[in-house]
A = this chain, B = another copy of it.
Amino acid sequence: MNVFRRGRTEHFRTVTFDAGTNSVRLIEQRLLPHEFKIIATKDFRATARAIASMTVRGAGAIGAAAAYGLAQGALAFRGPGPKKFFKHGNLVFKTLAEARPTAVDPVNAMNDVCRQMKAGKTVAEQQSLALAAAEEFANEDVRHCGEIGRHGARLIRNGMNILTHCNAGWLAFVDIGTATAPLYAAQSQGKKFHVFCDETRPRSQGATLTAWELAQQKISHEIIADNAAGHLMQRGKIDRVIVGSDRVLGRTGEVANKIGTYTKAVLAARHKIPFYVAIPLSTIDWNLKRGFEIPIEERHGHEVLGAWGITSSGKREYVRVANPGSGACNPGFDVTPAELITGIVTPTGIFKPKEFWENRHRLGFKG
């Protein structure tokens, strides 16, 4: 998407590959929204570190970073023959997979790359196929987000106010994003609308990343405290809610997403405001039978007890807000039942959660 810097608007992807220097180029997301910086990882170990340290984060973006990292590792190989190359490839795969051990996207992406590499007869052919497969993975991520945007833009009409939670934007994917895709597509169709970004405590991804994205794209928006959405809905100031998801259960239509999503869905249902979830097909879990079984990560209390920001002297610092003697309870995600969800926007179209299972073959179910 567009980024305004050095006096002009430039187009960026979150993750790209520079074949000339065999390096992966990433937006350093930990500096956003206060600084925009592209970093280059010079070898697969550096790429793994960038994934582990959350320089790059978000399902699609870390998938693409791992795919490129695997190609990068393969291309760096200078050895006698296929046997050593295979062994080296395993090491690269393992290093990248271990960077975010609970995430499923890097492993899925690298499995894709491995499958396509196998068609090569020589090391050189396999190296070249690895890069082509990684490029294809990234391009497919962009195409799928584009399709989500095409379907989702229908939901947005002139003059609407849209609420979103957390960041399921282009920074979390290679480009365009999922929850943001309908916004960007509607904008390109000339529609005028306003976005309320939930701050999304405790990590404030709405106030930092989503607001930054929308500002770069010149989309009208305001940040609100997570507490304010109910009041705005009560006063008729929100027409649609669109969020992303970390996992959608294909069998039940339940949606796991950033903590607070469930609250917004309950409020939207009370006010009869349509509530949409935008996802790529890779987010669908066809195995789990009940949302209650989704493990909810309990994160460190210091996220709730303070905040990261820029001080008056321009320094990035964590400040302790809460009473020093008190602790916090910090569940990272929640699960929204299907009954509260109006529709799920996928690259294949918009489905009611209850229609997921009957449409499973169109939605990528393999079983």
Q: What residues of chain A have their CB less than 8 Å away from a CB belonging to chain B? A: 33-34, 196-197, 199-202, 204, 207-208, 211-212, 214-215, 221-232, 234, 258-260, 262-263, 266-267, 270, 296, 301, 303-312, 317-331, 334-335
| CB proximity of A143 to chain B, nearest CB, Å | 28
How far does the Cβ of A252 sit from chain B's closest Cβ, in whole Å?
A: 15
User: Do B207 and A322 have beta carbons less than 8 Å apart?
Assistant: yes
Partner of A329, one of B196, B262, B305, B334: B196
B residues near A326, Cβ cutoff 8 Å:
197, 207, 211-212, 214-215, 221-223
CA distance A266 to B229 in the complex (A): 12
A98 to B74, CA, bound (A): 74
29 contacts between A and B (CB under 8 A): A33-B322, A196-B329, A202-B225, A204-B321, A207-B304, A208-B321, A211-B323, A211-B325, A211-B326, A212-B326, A224-B304, A224-B329, A224-B330, A227-B259, A227-B260, A230-B260, A230-B262, A231-B335, A232-B331, A234-B262, A263-B267, A266-B270, A307-B307, A308-B319, A309-B319, A311-B317, A311-B319, A312-B317, A317-B319
Residues of B within 8 A of A267 (CB): 263, 266
| A199, B322: Cβ atoms closer than 8 Å | yes
User: B residues within 8 A CB of A270?
Assistant: 266
Q: Please, which residues of chain B bring their CB within 8 A of the CB of A208?
A: 321-323
| CA A246 to CA B225, docked complex, whole Å | 19
A306 partner residues in chain B, CB cutoff 8 A: 307, 309
- Is there an interface contact between B321 and A230, defined as CB atoms closer than 8 Å? no
CA distance A270 to B326 in the complex (A): 29
Q: How far is the CA of A283 from the CA of B201 in the complex (A)?
A: 31
Given A196-B329, A200-B227, A222-B326, CB of A207 within 8 Å of CB of B321: yes
Give the Cβ gap from A256 to chain B, nearest Cβ, in Å.
Answer: 11
A207 near B331 with CB under 8 A, answer no
- B211:A322 contact, CB within 8 angstroms: yes
Of all chain B residues, which has the CB nearest A269? Answer: B270
Q: How far is the CA of A115 from the CA of B329 in the complex (A)?
A: 50
Beyond the given pairs A211-B322, A231-B259, A266-B266, 4 more chain A to chain B contacts, judged by CB atoms under 8 angstroms and listed by A's residue number, are A224-B329, A228-B331, A230-B262, A311-B311
Q: Which residues of chain B are within 8 angstroms of A231 by Cβ–Cβ distance? A: 259, 262, 296, 331, 334-335
Assembled-state Cα–Cα distance A263/B202 (Å)? 17
B296 contacts A224, C-beta separation under 8 Å? no
Nearest CB on B from A197, distance (A):
8
Contact A321 B308 (CB under 8 A): yes
In Å, the complex CA distance between A278 and B20 comes to 68
Q: A323: which of B212, B301, B330, B331 is its contact (CB, 8 Å)? A: B212
Assembled-state Cα–Cα distance A328/B207 (Å): 9
* Top 5 A-B pairs, shortest CB-CB distance: A309-B319, A227-B260, A33-B323, A230-B263, A207-B322
CA distance A304 to B308 in the complex (A): 13
Given contacts A207-B321, A319-B311, contact A305 B223 (CB under 8 A): yes
Known: A207-B321, A309-B307, A310-B319. A201 touches B227 (CB 8 A): yes
Chain B residues, CB < 8 A from A232: 329, 331
A228 contact set on B, CB distance < 8 A: 259-260, 329-331, 334
A112 to B303, CA, bound (A): 46
A39–chain B nearest beta-carbon distance, Å? 20
